Amino acid sequence: MKNTKKNVFTKLGIATLGAAMLSVCAVSGTYAKYTSSVAATDTARVAYWGFGQNTAKLELFKNAYAIDSGSIDGNMSVKSSQESEKVIAPGTKNECQLSFAYTSSANGAVTAPEVAYNFSVTIEVTGEYGQIDNNSSFVWTIKQGETEQATEYNSVEQFKAALQSILVSADAVDGSKTYKPGELPEFFKDSSKKLYVGWEWKFDNGNDKADTQLGSQTTLADISVEIGITATQID
């Protein structure tokens, strides 16, 4: 009887030991293993451009010009007979602001395009303007700032070269230059700068004969000016 009980206890002990060993193995299997994990995130925003998309408007000429003194009865010294036709004459002048602005990002963190680009300025003058351009009384003008003194240019070519130098760069080739990301033409670095272009046909400039010939021709000389300012992203 004693041997029977002893055998039972022995079997129970072996069973308990076996269960304990299995439990240890199970726990060991749970905590002793290799594990690796990795996570990656990336975010991007659109690269900033910033050149204005405003509609260009060039109003160099008018169909009527106000007098500079009170010596003439009325308020216009020169007026076209056709409302739709603009005119120029000795004693008249005009200027207008070129509007092509660069705007920094809203928070001011980005002050130049974040892409490479080509910047160019073209000036096309057409019409029968040769005699006008060769008349020493007629000059083109450029003014940097509303209160600044205008600089005068005696020919279209001088006017064109000066405008391209101011807006693009002094070393621009044919009015064009390539800029790297983060670069901006010098003129556009100061957002408060204003540029005015214009002309003047000087009155009583000792050139009456040439002036009179221009105004007495059967076919009157005409002139048309187009100024193009373009910024284009490049690869």
- For range 31-47, the mean pLDDT: 90
Instruction: Answer whether residue 4 shows pLDDT above 80.
Output: no
Mean pLDDT of the chain: 84
In the chain, count of helices (H) and strands (E)?
4, 9
Query: Where are the chain's structural domains?
Result: 64-233
Closest to 156 in 3D by CA, of 174, 134, 128, 171: 134
pLDDT over 60 (residue 79): yes
- DSSP assignment, residue 122? E
Q: What is the mean pLDDT of residues 3-7?
A: 55
Interstrand relation of 224-233 and 117-126 (parallel, antiparallel or unpaired): antiparallel
| pLDDT tens profile 175-198 | 999 999 999 999 988 888 889 999
Gyration radius of the chain over CA positions = 41
Rounded to whole angstroms, the Cα distance separating 159 from 121 reads: 12
Confidence check: pLDDT of 168 > 80: yes
Query: Are 211 and 97 a contacting pair, CB within 8 Å?
Result: no
pLDDT at 165 over 60: yes
Tell me the per-residue pLDDT of 124-162, one tens digit each, with 9 for 90 and over. 999 888 888 888 899 999 999 888 899 999 999 999 999
Say whether pTM exceeds 0.85. no
